[in-house]
Structure 1
Amino acid sequence: MHLPVMPPVTPMLAKSVARIPEGGLLYEPKWDGFRSIVFRDGDEVEIGSRNGNPMTRYFPEVVEAVRANLPERCVLDGELVVVSGARLDFEALQQRIHPAARRVALLARETPAHFVAFDLLALDDEDLTGRPFRERRALLEKHLAAARPPVHLTPASTDSAVAGEWFSQFEGAGLDGVVAKPLDGPYEPNKRSMFKVKHERTADCVVAGYRTHKADAEGIGSLLLGLYTDDGDLMAVGVVGAFTAARRRELFRELQPLVTAPEDHPWAAAREDDGIRTPFNAEGSRWAAGRDLSFTPLRPERVLEVRYDHMEGARFRHTAQFNRWRPDRDPASCTFGQLEEPVRFDLAAVLSGGTPAGTAPTTGP
């Protein structure tokens, strides 16, 4: 492979902002998948991950789609996603990373991935990373005009009002928010030169256990969170972490009176076939191979308010953020009913660019 931009490439990143910014920006939906840099030199194709590791072998159907849809020699930045029904399915995407070739081939047929392109880093013999984004986007639109699924060009608009509609509507299709990119900016690997606006909500959760910090046996690394179902079962919904060293120790001392025997914990009797997700039946996957997933069970008597962006099924999609203790809340009142449900939106409309207010393509170079 001989391209003007060679692997590995660390993608350009985005910094979080509280609201959609204005001025000289191109807005795009924020996809919830695996960030990927795709390199094509004739029949040679490589798919690089955010950390630079190749993912080519896990997505053979995307490799074939790249050969069929992308320019003969190019480097593109984009996102690998899996679609289930009318929305993105990140859990199914995670399952695509498998060591067995036979399993990889089966999953490529059963849960095929899509590649959503949003930047062009190189074309033929030219390195485009130093050119303004408006020029890179115009070239991307030109060369992907005839692309067919599973290769897609992400919708884009210069209208912040359109971005606002996307932010409120596309979450129902499993998207993650909105990204804003300076039209005059170059491509800057590993720099937070873009802006992202993500959904943020709060929920009151039961603290059901903890894991100690990997470097401190008397410090809390993460708190395990639960919510009650309508049937009164406590289901694991995620964790909250990222405490300072001092706070880790304080929390450890504070929670010791709640430590209980595993057999006395509500999760002890839960089984996977009950549909009650707990750390005992939901976290022993290959993604955690080699990791210590043991935890200290706590009597479910304390309530914690956390911030989260969105749910993936019955779990927080990302690690939640500590907000405050809620001593005024009865743990039994912490149910799934408090969670805000986004209005459903058909992902096909996003992938096809058929958005409510349309898209505003950029001008050519």
Structure 2
Amino acid sequence: MDLPVTPPVQPMLAKAVAAVPDQPEDGPVWSYEPKWDGFRALIFRDGDEVVMASRGGKDLARYFPELVDAARTSLPDRVVLDGEVAVARPVGGVSRLDWDSLSQRIHPAASRVAKLAAETPAVFIGFDALASGSVDLTDATFDVRRRALVDAAADTGDDRIQVSRVTRDPGQAEAWFTEFEGAGLDGVVGKRLDGVYVPGKREMVKIKHKRTADCVVIGYRVHKSGTGLGSMLLGLYADGELRMVGGSSAFSDKKRIELQTMFEPMRLDPDNVAQGELSRWRSAGSAEWIPIRPELVAEFAYDQMESRRFRHTVKFLRWRPDREPSSCGYDQLEVPLTYDIFDVLESGSSDGKSSDAS
């Protein structure tokens, strides 16, 4: 592969901040864009040769053949782009990012990969450019890289290749933070207009959704070491039924033993364990969990809901002895606005043009 930037390359990363940074009075410094919740990917194209690498440098091309084809047929002959691989599915009349469908695309069987590529096709959403033609853009400022990205990926006529929209208006970015969550997005990212591309460094900023919910502890898994609690499983009530919504882990050794001691007398059936849903990243044994009496309520920090479950592992904050388990329902959760994923992309803007100058 004869490109000015060749794999492996670690993508530039972001550090978390509490709020969207303001622009200084003497002129714009920041460019803001939606934070996509998919697989980070770098696409390298040199003629017919296409490499698609994950954040950790793993090959993604074998799992997303439709995107390799899109890159080969739609992108310029020699280009390197940074972006996100995502799957959008219709939900309630709009298209929304679907993490479960995206995760299922990572499968060892070629026949399964081909089947899923047809049934749940992915899109590549570009948000930066590292090279164009024979030019290495990593030392160029973001405004220059953004123009190269738009020239390379916008208006390709291929729906599998998209470009994330941007704005320089912090008020617009704050509105996106709220509005675009309904499309399954994860927050907002800020990049300095005069910043260069620094692989592997946290040179961008990210503002993510953070919320809390009071949940019922319905069970637990034993730690992989065999000693103490590995994770507590959580439930919320809907229509009188207690439904599992996720789990909380990352406890200290001392806390794991303390929690297991606390939960043991509450086991519903001391001689049996229940079988939960298998994660594709877990072994079969790790799906076993121990149900307990649904009497304890605790407050947890979470960032996002998907399919009526917590999108990520949640963080334990405090016990809530003042709350009755029956009061822990879905109605306490903040429900984001419903937003179509394709309205978030560059092509979704009203005039079809870049919103860089907004």
Letter in 1 for 2:14: A
Deviation at 1:97, TM superposition (A): 1.2
Cα deviations across residues 52-82 of structure 1 (Å, max 9, x unaligned)? 1101011111111111221211111100111
Does 2:234 correspond to 1:229?
no
Asked whether the 8 Å contact 1:159–1:360 carries over to 2, the reply is: no
Q: Where do 1:22-33 residues align within 5 Å? A: 22-23=22-23, 24-33=29-38
- Cα deviation for residue 153 of structure 1 reads 0.9
Q: What's the CA shift for 1:286?
A: 3.4
CA distance in 1, matches of 2:189, 2:308: 26
Q: Comparing 329-338 with 248-257, which one deviates more in the overlay?
A: 248-257
1:20-57 CA distances to partner (integer Å, 9 max, x unpaired)?
A: 11231110001111111111111111111122110101
- 2:248 aligned with 1:240: yes
Q: Which moved more, 1:289-298 or 1:234-243?
A: 289-298
- Which residue in 2 is equivalent to 1:360? 355
- Counterpart of 1:63? 68
CA RMSD of aligned residues (A): 2.2
CA contact (8 A) 1:262 1:297 kept: no
Q: Are 2:346 and 2:354, in contact at CA under 8 Å, matched by a contact in 1?
A: no
Q: Distance in 1 between matches of 2:347 and 2:170?
A: 16
Q: Specify the alignment match of 2:26 in structure 1.
A: none
Counterparts of 1:144 and 1:117, CA distance in 2: 7
Contact 2:124/2:161 (8 A) holds in 1: yes
Change (3 A) 1:359 1:246: farther
Letter in 2 for 1:15: K
> In the superposition, relative to structure 1, how do residues 240 and 286 fare at CA in structure 2: closer, same or farther (>3 Å)?
closer
Alignment match of 1:103 (pick from 108, 112, 119) = 112
Q: Does 1:348 align with 2:342?
A: yes
Matched residue pairs, number? Answer: 347
Structure 1's consecutive aligned runs of 4 or more residues displaced over 6 angstroms after TM superposition are 262-265
State the one-letter code of the partner of 1:49. Answer: S
Cα distance in 1 between the residues matched to 2:258 and 2:270:
23
Partner Cα separation in structure 1 for residue 117 and residue 174 of structure 2: 34
Q: Evaluate the alpha carbon distance shift between residue 282 and residue 192 of structure 1 in structure 2; reply closer, same or farther with a 3 A threshold.
A: same
1:141-198 deviations in whole A, cap 9, x for unaligned?
Answer: 2222332311011101111111011111111111111011111222122222111111
Deviations 1:95-147 (A, max 9, x none): 11111212211111111100000011122233221222221112112222332
- Letter of the 1:208 counterpart: I
**Residues 102, 361 of structure 1: CA spacing in aligned structure 2 closer, same or farther, 3 A cutoff?**
same
Between 254-263 and 59-68, report the one with greater CA deviation. 254-263
Comparing 25-34 with 143-152, greater Cα deviation is found at 143-152
1:289, distance to aligned residue in structure 2 (A): 3.8
Ranges in structure 2 where 5+ consecutive residues have no aligned partner? 24-28
* 2: CA distance, partners of 1:186 / 1:295: 48
- In structure 2, the residue matched to 1:18 is 18
List aligned pairs for 1:252-263, cutoff 5 A: 252-261=260-269
| Secondary structure, aligned partner of 1:109 | helix
The answer on whether the counterparts of 2:217 and 2:234 sit within 8 Å (CA) in structure 1 is: yes
Structure 1 CA distance, aligned partners of 2:207 and 2:260?
A: 34
Of 193, 204, 217, 1:207 maps to: 217
Instruction: Kindly indicate whether the alpha-carbon contact (under 8 Å) linking 2:272 and 2:290 is maintained by their aligned counterparts in 1.
Output: no
The residue aligned with 2:135 is 126
1:41 equivalent in alignment to 2:46:
yes
Please state how far the C-alpha of 1:290 moved relative to its aligned partner: 5.9
Distance (Å, rounded) in 2 between the aligned partners of 1:164 and 1:249: 42
Distance 1:56 1:34 in 2: 12
Q: Which residue of 1 aligns with 2:6?
A: 6
Taking the aligned partners of 1:332 and 1:260, their CA distance within structure 2 comes to 18
TM-score normalized by the length of structure 2: 0.90
Please list every run of 5 or more consecutive structure 1 residues that lacks an aligned counterpart in the other structure: 269-279
Match of 1:308 in 2: 302
TM-score for the superposition, normalised by structure 1:
0.88
User: For 1:35 and 1:291, how far apart are their aligned partners in 2?
Assistant: 30
Q: Which of the numbers 172, 183, 186 marks the counterpart of 2:182? A: 172
1:147 equivalent in structure 2? 156
